[in-house]
Amino acid sequence: MTIANDRLLRILYEGRPTDKLATAEALHAELAPRLKALPPLADELDGLRLECRALAGQMVAMQLGRLCSRCAARPDGGCCSALMADNTDALQILINLLLDVPVAVHPESGGNCCFLGPTGCPFSAKPIFCLNYNCSHILTGAAPADLAVLYRRAAAVLSRQTRIEALLLDAVRDRVRPAP
């Protein structure tokens, strides 16, 4: 299969969330065994699992799930709006699939992100916006030391995701060799 580089980037980064999920699922079905066997990628995925667990643990320690859920339930609140689903891309979804995270679109999500499930966000690896934690409710209610740990852990996740995305882009480009 030959796809021009700009078209490949559009396929991976543009479109509706359902399109991005379908692209990620197709790439996962085709490439997962090969990708998981690549030593640098396998090592990065293992590291990302640990970084994501550490971030999730800090979020639990700060009780952000309860805080964010309460805000999201308000008509004017919530970072997890329908627009946030557009901030994800096929490679970010593919990373989650490679981490064995089940990802699905929930059409009944209303004004919320369509990836939110009954227990919240399924993503271990999150879009960059979702790693900001700049909400005034978080900033005013958290101890500075807790915020420092939260930001350090979020930065570690984002840094690792960026490295993994670069490896995935190389693997996908190798698969589709752009036309001359």
Contact at 8 Å (CB) between 149 and 62? no
113-130 mean pLDDT = 84
Give 99-117 pLDDT, tens digit per residue: 999 999 987 777 778 888 7
Contacts of 156 (CB under 8 A, 6+ apart): 51, 54, 55
Give 146-176 pLDDT, tens digit per residue: 999 999 999 999 999 999 999 999 888 866 5
Q: Is 104 helix (H, G, I), strand (E, B) or coil?
A: coil
Token digits of residue 109? 């999500």
| pLDDT band per the 50, 70, 90 thresholds, residue 179 | very low
Position 76 scores a pLDDT of 57
Partners of 15 in the β-ladder: none
**Amino acid found at 109:** S
- HSE-CB at 78 with a 13 A cutoff on CA atoms is 22
Helix count and strand count (H, E) for the chain: 7, 0
Residue labelled with tokens 């009780």: 63
Report, in angstroms and rounded to the nearest whole number, the Rg of the chain calculated over CA atoms.
17
116-140 mean pLDDT = 83
Give 9-68 pLDDT, tens digit per residue: 888 999 999 999 999 999 999 999 988 888 899 999 999 999 999 999 999 999 887 777
Position 118 scores a pLDDT of 75
Task: Give the separation between CA 156 and CA 163, rounded to whole angstroms.
Answer: 11
Position 61 scores a pLDDT of 92
Q: Where are the domains of the chain?
A: 5-170
Task: Give the separation between CA 179 and CA 8, rounded to whole angstroms.
Answer: 11
Task: Give the separation between CA 112 and CA 84, rounded to whole angstroms.
Answer: 8
Position 180 scores a pLDDT of 39
Residue 89 in this model has a pLDDT that exceeds 60: yes
Q: What is the pTM of this model?
A: 0.87
Contact at 8 Å (CB) between 84 and 113? yes
Of the candidates 31, 46, 17, the one whose C-alpha atom is nearest the C-alpha of residue 163 is 46
Token digits of residue 47? 């590291």
Residue 102 neighbours by CB distance under 10 Å: 8
Contacts of 63 (CB under 8 A, 6+ apart): none
